Amino acid sequence: MTPTSAADAGTGAPAGGRHAFLAVLVAALGYFVDIYDLLLFAIIRVESLLDLGVAEADLLSEGVLLLNMQMGGMLVGGILWGVLGDRRGRLSVLFGSIAMYSIANIANGFVDSVGAYAVWRFIAGVGLAGELGAGVTLVSEVLSKQARGYGAMIISAVGIMGAVVAVLVGDIFSWRIAYFVGGGMGIALLLLRIGVAESGMFQQTRQADVSHGDFFMLFRTAERRIRYVAVILIGLPMWYIVGILVTFSPEFGRAMGMTEIPVAGQAVMWCYMGASLGSLACGTLSQVWRTRTGVVRLTMVAAAVFIALYFLVAGLSLPIFYGVCFLLGLSCGYWAVFVLMASELFGTNIRATAATTVPNFVRGSVVLVTMLFQWLTLSLGIQASAMVVGALTLVIAFVALSRIEDTYGKDLDYVER
């Protein structure tokens, strides 16, 4: 890692408070629409598939297929947008990704077959892959190192509430209208691009004689490779919780013998309300305690406790089930700190590539996690299978966290060679 000259004392930004405010605002609202679309499928999965003629016995398998198509698109998009972010700029990715997932959202409202649904979920996934990484990268470079944790916290806390709005819209309107609403919000958001400026730190680094947006640079040295893989792995428990325990809550409710079966949309809403509060708590603690890794470690311990509660007591009643979903969401609050760490761990010339691919590889890990979950279900049953997969993701995450440096207060004005 070779330092560059300072772009602007601590920020790399050419402008003052207004520039930073607009960057945080657009990134937060973009993530709001991102989460709305990302979680909308989980909320309206059953309604939409039944309307398309899928038999009840096939709802789980077809739902996993569509979820995997969406997450597979995010894997592809993560690399695509990350490379573009370091070559063309953070803003081009921020608004390009918003435009793509908005169009895909609208197209989802017109599908008439599972095949078409799968294609547009894949395209939506590609679009959804770019916004968060580009937004956090931009904000981390325009805010001071003392304040960037709060910027990431605001992005996450505001954005996660998109899931709550998705639940409310899904309850009020048909599944097709719900997709149209998401697309409309994204298009409206594009109007806010006026006044948002590019990162000064990025602009300066473009002139440096180094490779920009080279995805394979992340693997070129053993130290950088370990750094990159480790930060991905610490995010596994969050998407195990969302992708399995919450998304398939109706199936778990039946397996637990509940008389009132949980509604997936309600489980998502309670989980994400907890996650929004958790983001505020984790972001604040990481600033007050001056540590990223310490907060992540504490939150993962809480996740282990709440996952155990899910299998031990959640099936006692519907209110208890939703209450545990809220606690699980609370333990997912380290997502904001996690994505910020992904941007802070790498130099400016590959920062967007890292910050964009890392959360999407975590999201895309749902494909592997659900495949393992389904395979184990054949022999262990749905609950035991989920327990095994959950324990595995937690062990992997704790080991990975031990290999990562604490990035609080790190100077980001440097490049990787």
Confidence at residue 253, expressed as pLDDT on a 0 to 100 scale? 96
* Pick from 242, 197, 184, 150: nearest CA to 26: 197
What pLDDT is attached to residue 243?
86
Kindly provide the b/e burial profile for residues 263-297, where b requires at least 16 CB atoms within 10 angstroms of the residue's own CB: bbbbbbbbbbbbbbbbbbbbbebbbeeebbbbbbb
* Residue-level pLDDT at 15: 42
**CA dist list (Å): 268 to 22, 78, 290, 337, 391:** 29, 24, 31, 21, 22
For residues 295 and 341, give the distance between their C-alpha atoms in angstroms, rounded to a whole number: 12
Burial 17-45, CB ≥16 within 10 A → b, else e:
eebbebbbbbbbbbbbbbbbbbbbbbbbb
Which residues, 6 or more positions from 58, have their beta carbon under 8 angstroms from its beta carbon? 49
Q: How many residues does the chain have?
A: 417
Phi, psi angles (nearest 5°) of residue 414: -155, 165
In the prediction, which pLDDT does 194 show? 61
Determine if the pTM surpasses 0.75.
Answer: yes
What separation in angstroms does the CA of 329 have from each of 32, 60, 245, 273? 16, 23, 11, 7
Q: What is the pLDDT along the chain (417 residues), one digit of tens a residue?
A: 443 333 433 334 344 577 788 889 889 999 999 999 887 887 788 899 999 999 988 887 888 889 888 888 888 999 999 999 999 889 889 889 999 999 999 999 999 999 999 999 999 999 999 999 999 999 999 888 888 889 989 998 899 889 889 989 988 999 999 999 999 999 988 876 666 778 888 888 877 778 888 999 999 999 999 999 999 999 999 989 988 999 889 999 999 999 999 988 789 889 989 999 999 999 999 999 999 999 999 999 999 999 999 999 999 999 999 999 999 999 999 998 999 999 999 999 999 999 999 998 888 787 789 889 989 999 999 999 999 999 999 999 999 999 999 999 899 988 998
Residue 105, both tokens: 């959202």
Buried b (16+ CB within 10 A) or exposed e, 89-120: bbbbbbbbbbebbbbbbbbbbebeebeebbbb
Largest CA distance in the chain: 65
pLDDT at residue 18, as a whole number: 76
Cβ atoms within 10 Å of 188's Cβ, excluding its own = 12
Tokens of 169: 């819209």
List CB contacts of 69: < 8 A, sequence separation 6 or more.
Answer: 118, 119, 121, 122, 125
Cα–Cα distance for residue pair 54/114, rounded to 1 Å: 8
Q: Which of 108, 331, 351 is nearest to 208 (CA)?
A: 351
The DSSP call for residue 53 is T
CATH number 1.20.1250.20 given to 2-415: yes
Q: Report how far residue 275's alpha carbon sits from residue 268's, in angstroms, rounded to the nearest whole number.
A: 10
Residue showing tokens 């325009």: 142
Q: What is the pLDDT, as a whole number, of residue 193?
A: 65
Helical ranges in 289-350 per DSSP H = 293-312, 318-331, 335-344
Are the CB atoms for 336 and 329 separated by under 8 Å? no
For residue 298, give the nearest of 396, 401, 156 by alpha carbon. 401
Look at residue 114 in the predicted model and tell me its pLDDT.
93
Tokens of 356: 């964009």
* Beta-bridge mates of residue 3: 414
Kindly state the tokens that stand for 60.
Answer: 């789980």
What are the residues whose beta carbons fall under 8 Å from the beta carbon of 308, sequence distance 6 or more? none
- Taking the alpha carbons at both ends of the chain, their separation in whole angstroms is 6
